[in-house]
Chain A
């Protein structure tokens, strides 16, 4: 049987644009240009490499997000993924990470998986906990934040560079993996890949298809609540001097004035 690899990818607002919150204090995903989270490109890359090492493998990319999130799936398909699943339902809007993990877990289960490869964090929420939650919900080992990963003989192994130590990890499949941006450059879609992606299947699912009630997700089904969001006041313009030979000493003077020296 072929190795079933599932890659959850997120459609996120472009970090180089003006990101903001909507009136309901959820991330504005409508008026800001979005794209496949750059950190999920690393997950797609590692999934494709794992598939390449296997005798036979199918890589499915899954996203939970609005209509435009399809762009993220297209990009992943053009990189080389085989098929895509798009979970789209108005009731999902406003879901926090625990609610999102429910939807993704059901979608991954429905797709069928041996290994799930996530990114290390989304570039908008930046929580970096969804892969752990997915493992919890699916009841399989979590092998996360890997800078190196390989799958062979039904075992996933990898290197995790933690705060205090570097660890070598190992778990039996099925498992949930996440990979960092240290895992290796992601490939660019080739022209051929982009053309091929147009013909690849994208399955659409809603909450009914996944057997999830509207009250389990969205703003109402989330277990956290954003009470307010305020733009940080711009930093007051500081002093910028040109170095005319005394720049280092001027800087020292400033630091001394601030009691750092």
Chain B
């Protein structure tokens, strides 16, 4: 059976959920061969095997942490040459997209980014993508080389599918160019204890209407009652009320949760670009004319400082 290379996104051996989703998609195209790089890579094998990875190619070279992007490109290139896959799947993050694009150019293949679905087709994998702030849906494929496709989080279910997950050492010899951009220091992000924004099943976001950093406690309380991640509009981020890592939209994160709750957010096109594909959308806004209401499944016209705390209380009561 044909092999499909899956590039593993992990933090010190802890596999991130989008990679498990990729394994589900990869199994539609062939047998998943995972490639895990960097510190802790070998520790990913068990989980990957449980989700369908037949083999796990591993390299823990220090270069992956010391230099930007290119060492990963060279390792993936070595994996592609060793495996001769029918496709390479990568989870869409800013860095992984860069890795995917450079890999594609090197191996003479086309690249598609930010797919929301991947299916087998007569002439190779077909990727579904969203365009123009998700107002269009396109289907595309790669017409030359080994298709390299990056896939957005929440595009497929995580499905257990036991496979060997056999660990093999991937040997990579780095070029001089791989050492071009030095990572002088790295400060890991402190965890908020809440789910990762792009992976969360529920996202609760606040905008300019939240009117102050301290008021974000109201949004956080609602998020916590639902076990949700917290998002923010750019207006709220630019005002310094919430960190940029939580921004939803064109220049922030793109999210596609089961439920998105927007409070005090008008629904500008650039914000919609990052949340329009959410399954269920709910908004609280005191302006009945706010464009966000064009998107909602349920909307409340009202002051978020009345509605949101009442909602949080009611959820707590119902959950007991």
Among the listed B139, B189, B315, which residue makes an inter-chain contact with A226, where contact means beta carbons less than 8 Å apart? B139
Q: Which residues of B contact A248 (CB under 8 A)?
A: 300, 306-314
Q: Which of the candidate stretches B21-29, B44-52, B130-138 sits at the interface with the other chain?
A: B130-138
Across the interface, which residues of A come within 8 angstroms of B187, CB to CB? Answer: 165-167
Q: Is the CB of A225 within 8 A of B95?
A: no
User: A91 CA to B301 CA in the complex, in Å?
Assistant: 51
**Is there contact, CB below 8 Å, between B134 and A255?**
no
**CA A39 – CA B295 in complex, angstroms?**
26
What is the number of residues of chain B that contact chain A, defined by CB distance less than 8 Å? Answer: 89
Question: Considering the complex, which residues of chain A in the window 95-145 have a beta carbon less than 8 Å from any beta carbon of chain B?
Answer: 96-98, 101, 120-121, 123-124, 126-129, 131-133, 135-137, 139-145
A89 and B282 alpha carbons, distance in the complex (Å) = 46
**Residues of B close to A150: CB separation below 8 A:** none
Residue in A127, A163, A171, A258 whose CB lies within 8 Å of B181? A171
Q: Closest CB-CB distance, A131 to chain B, in whole Å? A: 8
Q: Size of chain A's interface in residues, with CB distance under 8 A?
A: 82
Q: Are A145 and B94 in contact (CB under 8 A)?
A: yes
Interchain CB contact under 8 A, A127 and B105? no
Whether B184 lies near A261 (C-beta < 8 A) is no
Q: How far is the CA of A160 from the CA of B292 in the complex (A)?
A: 31
Judge if A52 is at the interface, Cβ distance under 8 Å: no
Q: A140-B180, A227-B141 are in contact. Are A161 and B244 (CB under 8 A)?
A: yes
Question: Could you give, for residues 130-173 of chain B, a 1 whenever the CB lies within 8 Å of some chain A CB and a 0 otherwise?
Answer: 11111111111111110000000000000000000000000000
Q: Is the CB of B180 within 8 A of A223?
A: no
Is B56's CB within 8 Å of the partner chain A?
A: no
Within the complex, the shortest CB–CB distance from B120 to chain A, in Å, comes to 14
Taking CB atoms, residues of chain A closer than 8 Å to B284 are 247, 251
**How far apart are the CA atoms of A161 and B188 in the complex, in Å?**
10
Determine if B98 and A142 form an interchain contact, defined as CB atoms under 8 angstroms apart: yes
Q: Are A228 and B138 in contact (CB under 8 A)?
A: yes
Q: Which residues of A contact B307 (CB under 8 A)?
A: 243, 247-248, 251
Is A199 on the interface with B (CB-CB < 8 A)? Answer: no
Assess whether B88 is interfacial by the CB under 8 Å rule. Answer: no
Contacts of B184 in A (CB 8 A): 157, 167-170
**Smallest CB separation, B90 vs chain A (Å):** 11
A251–B186 touching, CB < 8 Å: no
Chain B residues with Cβ below 8 Å from A1 are none
Q: A96-B110, A163-B94, A252-B314 given as contacts; is B299 within 8 A of A243 (CB)? A: no
**Is there contact, CB below 8 Å, between A142 and B68?**
yes
Q: Is the interface of A mostly helix, strand, loop or mixed?
A: mixed
A172 to B189 Cα, complex, angstroms: 27
Q: Chain B interface: which of A14-22, A68-76, A186-194?
A: A14-22
The reply on B211 being an interface residue by CB < 8 A is: no
What is the minimal beta-carbon distance from B111 to any residue of chain A, in angstroms? 7
Residue among A19, A164, A231, A239 having the largest count of chain B Cβ atoms under 10 Å:
A164
Closest residue of A by beta carbon distance from B140: A226
Interface pair A136/B136, CB less than 8 Å apart: no
On whether A258 and B280 interact (CB within 8 A), knowing A247-B310, A248-B306, the answer reads yes
Given A223-B145, A226-B138, are A15 and B97 also a contact pair (CB < 8 Å)? no
Q: Is the CB of B282 within 8 A of A16?
A: no
Main secondary structure of the interface of B (DSSP, over half): mixed
B102 lies within 8 A of chain A by Cβ: yes
Residues 81-103 of B contacting A (Cβ, < 8 Å): 93-95, 97-98, 100-102
A261 touches B135 (CB 8 A): no
Taking the complex as formed, is A162 at the interface, i.e. its CB lies under 8 A from any CB of chain B?
Answer: yes
Known: A132-B101, A227-B139. A164 touches B11 (CB 8 A): yes
Contact of A165 among B100, B186, B280 (CB under 8 A): B186
| In-complex Cβ contact of B136 among A120, A227, A229, A254 (8 A) | A229
Partner of B298, one of A101, A137, A141, A238: A238
**Is there an interface contact between A142 and B181, defined as CB atoms closer than 8 Å?**
yes
Chain A residue contacts of B135, Cβ below 8 A: 19, 231-232
Contact with A243, one of B133, B138, B306 (Cβ below 8 angstroms): B306
Within B243-266, the residues touching A (CB, 8 Å) are 244-245, 250-251, 258-259
Return chain B residues, CB-CB under 8 Å to A228: 138-139
Quote the shortest CB–CB distance from A35 to chain B (angstroms): 14
| Residues of chain A lying within 8 A (CB to CB) of residue B299 | 238-241
- Beyond A228-B139, A241-B300, A243-B307, whether A261 also contacts B97 by CB under 8 A is no
Which B1-58 residues sit within 8 Å CB-CB of chain A? 11
* Chain A residues closer than 8 Å to B98, beta-carbon distance: 128-129, 131-132, 142, 144
Give the distance to chain A from B144, nearest Cβ to Cβ, in Å. 4
- Interchain Cβ contacts under 8 Å between A and B, 13 examples: A98-B101, A129-B101, A165-B187, A170-B181, A222-B143, A223-B109, A223-B143, A224-B110, A226-B139, A232-B137, A243-B302, A248-B312, A258-B297
Q: Chain B: residues with CB nearer than 8 A to chain A?
A: 11, 68-70, 93-95, 97-98, 100-102, 104-106, 108-114, 126, 130-145, 177, 180-189, 202, 226, 244-245, 250-251, 258-259, 269-270, 273, 280-282, 284, 288, 293-303, 306-315, 318-319
Interface residues of A (CB under 8 A from B): 15-16, 19-21, 25, 39, 96-98, 101, 120-121, 123-124, 126-129, 131-133, 135-137, 139-145, 147, 157, 160-172, 175, 180-182, 222-232, 235, 238-243, 245, 247-252, 254-256, 258, 260-261
